[in-house]
Amino acid sequence: MKRAFRRTAFVLMRELSWRCFGHKIDWRRFFVLVAILTVSAFVFQTLVHAYLALPNRPLHSPHQSNSSLQGGRLQKVHLTLTDSVISPNASNKLIQSFSVQLENAELEAPIQRKNSVSARKKDKNLAGTTKVATSLSPPRHVPKQRHIQLLPPNKALVQAKKEIDRAPSVNEDPDIYAPIFRNISVFKRSYELMEMILKVYIYRDGSRPIFHKPPLKGIYASEGWFMKLMEENKQFVTKDPEKAHLFYLPYSARQMGLTLYVPGSHDLKPLSIFLRDYVNKIAAKYPFWNRTQGSDHFLVACHDWGPYTVTGHEELKRNTIKALCNADLSEGVFVAGRDVSLPETTIRAPRRPLRYLGGNRVSLRPILAFFAGSMHGRVRPTLLTYWGGGKDEDMKIYKRLPLRVSQRMTYIQHMKSSKYCVCPMGFEVNSPRIVEAIYYECVPVIIADNFVLPFSEVLDWSAFSVVVAEKDIPRLKEILLSIPLRKYLTMQNNVKMVQKHFLWNPRPIRYDLFHMILHSIWFNKLNQTQPSQI
């Protein structure tokens, strides 16, 4: 193309010289010729730039400028990196790094053009650099992620587990706070894959009120809110069970107790029989339970009786993933690493589940520790014996908040004005006070032996709470005062940062309580997945 242009220019210049100097100058023709030359040069330059900008153009000439080659390669690197799911900070650093390398190579190009052999070597080296740049993040490439989405459910789970095992290192993220996680790199990668891959099939069988009628109020509302948001969800729910990675049994342990339990009988057997018959019906009607003996099925139950309702069906008890508020290791039903500890949340106004959120700043928290509640279970009477009855002004421990006290400061105001909120177990290990303390930005003090804390597979509870053994209740004040002020300030700030993971939103938001519950079910399912299951 350059040769043709040079030949054309030479002919035109020769014609111009002959007309200007060989004959009398015709100025009209002269100006027309100059205009034609100017327009031709402009058009040629435009065509050349458009041609060089093509990303997949054929390399016709071995003498093509290195700068144009490097520009195309630089563009390719940028496209590859920005299409990945690397965090914005990491991708910017990578892009800047490769941009510097390629721009340095471009500055050296004029010197290397003197020697065509060395120029070809430079091209090879630059191509190698580009290849390395585009292969630095294989687990996060969009094509590979799409490949995982197209795999059958079992193979997709195996591949997702491999992806998490080699999760890229992450030190910080704008959406989640690293210090409150056990391993933010693992959590982030697992959560990304859940959003990309996970599909849940919900059985439509079962009649109300036990099935498909979520209780949204009270201390057992977690099972109802999860059911409501799961059945309304369009991202994770599939109507095709062959595409499902998990199967949801949508019943309410709370509604089962209200419907089937005979008051005063102390007999929970009718509840377990009812659930056993339901699972047998599911197994007879559909092939999905029998394929895995229920290991890819899950249930969500917050009522204290949740663990006991599954004892009538051996496979349901042994294999199914159970999200339970009563996550007690000592009873032989809840299994850490397979089952999920479900937060117990008190919802007073279903239309405003986040009412009263927030608390006082540290300087306006004069109370060292606070608790008020019924004296049931083995722990609370001991707590009252040592610290109740006004024995210590710093320790506000009550049976129930006395009227004379509540008139001056309500229960919620007490939590908002306390440095530590004591959360002892009742009849069962969990307590709604743990999440209440987080809502009101008070550091929880958890007293419940054998209790598996919610989301403990991903959250580091030592960063934002204090766990006290039941035998150490007499030393409670000593333990709290031994915590340095700097550490307390860090924990109190971490309580604020972890709060977003315990919120029920009418429309779920990334990383909120609905997504955290679903992620723990997904995460524990992956931990059970073996390559031999393909």
Please give the biggest Cα pair distance in the chain. 125
Position 531 scores a pLDDT of 74
SS3 labels along 8-26: HHHHHHHHHHHHHHHCCCC
Q: Is the pLDDT score of 119 beyond 50?
A: no
Segment 153-160 mean pLDDT? 95
H/E element, 271: helix 269-285
Q: Is the pLDDT score of 161 beyond 90?
A: yes
Nearest to 275 by CA among 303, 243, 244: 303
Residues across the chain = 534
Cβ atoms of 159 and 148 closer than 8 Å: yes
**Sign (positive or negative) of CA dihedral 375, 380, 382, 384:** negative
Segment 10-33 mean pLDDT? 59
Domain covering 360-501 in this structure, CATH number: 3.40.50.2000
Q: For residue range 388-399, what is the model confidence (pLDDT) as tens digits?
A: 989 999 999 999
Cα separation, 395 vs 418, whole angstroms: 10
- Higher pLDDT, residue 211 or 19: 211
Position 68 scores a pLDDT of 41
Position 35 scores a pLDDT of 75
Q: Is the pLDDT score of 411 beyond 60?
A: yes
Cα separation, 278 vs 206, whole angstroms: 8
Render 75-106 in DSSP notation, one character per residue: HHHHHHHHTS---HHHHHHHHHHHHHHHHHHH
125-139, 172-186, 248-262, 424-438: lowest mean pLDDT where?
125-139
Position 51 scores a pLDDT of 54
Q: Is the pLDDT score of 75 beyond 80?
A: no
Pairing between β-strand 418-424 and β-strand 395-398 as defined by DSSP bridges: unpaired
- Higher pLDDT, residue 490 or 118: 490
Render 311-364 in DSSP notation, one character per residue: TT-HHHHHTSEEEES--BGGGSS--BTTBEEPPP--BS-TT-TTTT-----GGG
Residues 6 or more apart in contact with residue 212 via CB below 8 angstroms: 206, 227, 231, 250
Q: Is the pLDDT score of 8 beyond 90?
A: no
From its phi and psi, is residue 332 left (phi > 0), alpha (psi between -120 and 50) or beta? left
Q: Is the pLDDT score of 83 beyond 50?
A: no
Segment 469-498 mean pLDDT? 98
Position 109 scores a pLDDT of 42
Render 471-516 in DSSP notation, one character per residue: GGGGGHHHHHHTS-HHHHHHHHHHHHHHGGGG---SS--TTSHHHH
Q: For residue range 459-482, what is the model confidence (pLDDT) as tens digits?
A: 999 999 999 999 999 999 999 999
pTM for the whole structure = 0.74
Position 52 scores a pLDDT of 53
Position 147 scores a pLDDT of 81
Average pLDDT of the chain, as a whole number: 83
From its phi and psi, is residue 215 left (phi > 0), alpha (psi between -120 and 50) or beta? beta
Q: Is the pLDDT score of 102 beyond 50?
A: no
What band does 96 get if pLDDT is binned at 50, 70 and 90?
A: very low
Position 511 scores a pLDDT of 98
34-48, 163-177, 439-453, 493-507: lowest mean pLDDT where?
34-48
Position 32 scores a pLDDT of 66
Q: Is the pLDDT score of 178 beyond 70?
A: yes
Share of the chain above pLDDT 90, in %: 70
Q: Is the pLDDT score of 73 beyond 50?
A: no
Q: For residue range 186-212, what is the model confidence (pLDDT) as tens digits?
A: 999 999 999 999 999 999 999 999 999
What band does 101 get if pLDDT is binned at 50, 70 and 90?
A: very low
95-99, 290-294, 384-388: lowest mean pLDDT where?
95-99
Structure-block tokens of residue 296: 């890819």
**Sign (positive or negative) of CA dihedral 153, 159, 163, 166:** positive
Q: Is the pLDDT score of 92 beyond 60?
A: no
Cα separation, 57 vs 47, whole angstroms: 13
Q: Is the pLDDT score of 126 beyond 90?
A: no
What band does 56 get if pLDDT is binned at 50, 70 and 90?
A: very low
Residue 392 φ/ψ, nearest 5 degrees = -145, 125
Nearest to 67 by CA among 81, 82, 78, 53: 53
Q: Is the pLDDT score of 330 beyond 80?
A: yes
Q: Is the pLDDT score of 366 beyond 70?
A: yes
Q: Is the pLDDT score of 374 beyond 90?
A: yes
Domain assignments of the chain as residue spans, ordered by start: 147-195, 198-346+514-526, 360-501
Cα separation, 143 vs 314, whole angstroms: 42
Position 37 scores a pLDDT of 72
